[in-house]
Chain A
Amino acid sequence: MMQSAFTSLLSSSNWFCQLLAQATISDLLDLKTIILLIVVLGFLAGAYITGHVLRRQPNTSVHPALIRTFNARIQAWGLMCLIVALAFLFGRMATIVLFGLISFWALREFITLTPTRLGDHRALFWVFFVFTPLQYVLIGMGPEHYSFYIIVIPVFGFLFIPARIALSGDYKRFLERAAKIQSGLLVCVYTLSFAPALLDLQLETPTSNGPPKPWEGSNAGLLFYFILLAQLNDVLQYVWGLWLGRRVIAPEINASRTWEGFFGGIASTTLIGTLLWWVTPFSVPLSACMAAVIAIMGFAGSMTMSAIKRDRGVKDYGTLVEGHVGILDRIDSICFAAPVFFHLVRFFYLAE
């Protein structure tokens, strides 16, 4: 009796998911990706409700400021998750455009915080309106432009920016200004563009015997796996740091990053990554390795961006301009992890 009810429930839910997969207008989403998206969104919705119930209660042992931060965070992630899901629904181009816009905004924040001089104005115009769109147009044109989009910013952009600044005739702090603009372009645009580039990789999975077979999963699932792990790692490092944190790694740069948080974060991200192997072309142990790499790179990204913020004397990229959410604060880990993850996947799993 119980068993038959369970089977019918399973089959009906399966049928529902199949219907969903057929109903989507996009070819990006497959069943597994949809399940993952729904699970994550459901989890966030649960956390949102919990947070609001907690806030209503007058006498909780939890600090109200902590609840407020928690609610704000959950809301931000929910929004982020919804936007990504919507972009997947509208297809590959929409996802690439979404990442292009995120890059553009992040670059805005980066350059706003970076002291540039009048002489950099024309170079900056090129950076914003030529190099940034060009990178995403090349990604959008497909994987056969790989050899071009991996060099357009680090080679051509690298050479162009100082030359254009030199033409303006202002030599004060020349190398520093050029380097800052180059770094901004690399961190906010180049690295991030490898996240949507994941969508175009033709992947294959190794088989235990015989030649590898083409991977049948969806690259959108792989991209979501990547974003999810990078974001989760941020939270987990923070939570572990709050719970067990004793030894701060670099107090001058970020007082909340501790060794305990770092290792706890990596361990738990790796665990979650292992459990999510089914959305990826990876085997279970390799999924664990990939998750660990994402966690370490994400950590490196957060630390680097924190160092830049400390140097400029601000807490968040959002604080300079009150009311703006600092996008760069949210994506720093993704920026650092994206090119590494992309190239690892490409190296080990690209179909011949």
Chain B
Amino acid sequence: MALTTPFLTFTAKLLSGATARWLDCQPDTCQRVYFANHTSHLDALVVWSMLPRDVRAVTRPVAAKDYWEKGPIRRYLAQSFNALLIDRKDIKVHQSPVDLMIREIGDLHSLIVFPEGSRNTESEMGDFKSGLYYLSKKRPDLELVPVFIENLNRVLPRGEFLPVPLLSCITFGPPIWLEQREPKGEFLKRARDSVRQLKER
């Protein structure tokens, strides 16, 4: 695994031609939740690869179990980038994804999440699922860092398996927190807007 990880991040960077922009936010190893728009299967891998090495070491992308556990290669790749696999189909009450995430990160790890749930094909972002809200309600100390992913959906669109090596851009924005007694709907809308605003900058 130690061998494939540098290779994997290198390939991801090369293929996506990605650049990272940090706007009003600096890379840090403190516990964070990076939340991004979801456009491509490459999202989790590329955002993770664009983090500096020491930050990457404590960051785990949250990815869909049904996709990343299909076949030995995907399973191996998911292991290599230290993915936290979530079952989207079979959500139990006592084993909710949010509980699983909180248990897995402990007081060390950060997460990369995609609150839209599934990749959207529209150009406009979908509404955020409530996971982000419950996550920060239970762990209000986590910094929520909005991330805007640009152009990756053209590198590897939905339903394609051959990538086209265009240039993409990953923008990290200023962190937000859940305000005291902020209603769920309002918070999710604010979070979604914070990602969308990065598009303009």
Contacts and interface: CB of A to CB of B under 8 A. Distances in A.
Contacts of B151: 112
Interface of A: 108-109, 111-112, 116, 118, 121-122, 124-125, 128, 320-324
B17 A108 contact: yes
Interface in B136-168: 151, 154, 157-158, 160, 162-168
A116 B165 contact: no
Contacts of A108: 17, 165-167
A112 B162 contact: no
A322 B163 CA distance: 22
Contacts of B167: 108-109, 112, 320-321, 324
B164 A322 contact: no
Contacts of B19: 321-324
Given A320-B169, A321-B167, 16 more contacts: A108-B166, A108-B167, A111-B164, A111-B166, A112-B166, A112-B167, A118-B121, A118-B157, A121-B154, A121-B164, A128-B165, A321-B168, A322-B19, A322-B21, A324-B17, A324-B19
Contact of B169 (A118, A121, A128, A322): A322
10 nearest A-B pairs in the assembled complex, by CB-CB distance: A112-B167, A124-B164, A323-B19, A112-B166, A321-B167, A321-B19, A125-B162, A118-B157, A321-B169, A125-B164
B154 to A, nearest CB: 7
- Name, among B151, B157, B167, the residue most crowded by chain A CB atoms within 10 Å (CB to CB): B167
Given A108-B167, A320-B167, A116 B17 contact: no
13 contacts: A108-B17, A108-B166, A111-B164, A112-B17, A116-B154, A121-B154, A121-B164, A122-B162, A321-B19, A321-B168, A321-B169, A322-B21, A324-B17
A321 B21 CA distance: 9
Contact of A121 (B17, B160, B165, B168): B160
Contact of B157 (A121, A320, A322): A121
A316 B144 CA distance: 33
A112 to B, nearest CB: 4
Contacts of A121: 154, 157, 160, 164
A106 B133 CA distance: 43
Contact of A321 (B17, B160, B162, B165): B17
Contacts of A109: 167
A335 to B, nearest CB: 18
A324 B151 CA distance: 15
A10 to B, nearest CB: 49
A124 B151 CA distance: 14
- Name, among B21, B151, B154, B168, the residue most crowded by chain A CB atoms within 10 Å (CB to CB): B154
A118 B17 CA distance: 19
Contacts of A320: 167, 169
Nearest to A114: B166
A111 B162 CA distance: 16
Contacts of B160: 121-122
A175 to B, nearest CB: 20
A170 to B, nearest CB: 12
Contacts of B121: 118
A122 B156 CA distance: 11
- Name, among A109, A111, A121, A324, the residue most crowded by chain B CB atoms within 10 Å (CB to CB): A121
A144 to B, nearest CB: 31
A228 B168 CA distance: 32
A164 to B, nearest CB: 13
- Name, among B154, B157, B163, B166, the residue most crowded by chain A CB atoms within 10 Å (CB to CB): B166
A132 B168 CA distance: 20
A295 to B, nearest CB: 31
Interface in B150-201: 151, 154, 157-158, 160, 162-169
Contact of B164 (A128, A321, A323): A128
A320 B121 CA distance: 22
B155 to A, nearest CB: 9
A118 B167 CA distance: 16
A189 to B, nearest CB: 14
Contacts of A125: 162-164
A52 B180 CA distance: 54
A322 B50 CA distance: 14
Contacts of A128: 164-165
Contacts of A118: 121, 157-158
- Name, among B19, B160, B164, the residue most crowded by chain A CB atoms within 10 Å (CB to CB): B164
A108 to B, nearest CB: 6
A322 B17 CA distance: 11
Nearest to B121: A118
A128 B154 CA distance: 13
Contacts of A124: 164
Contacts of B17: 108, 112, 321, 324
Contacts of A112: 17, 151, 154, 166-167
Nearest to A317: B167
Contacts of A111: 164, 166
A17 B197 CA distance: 60
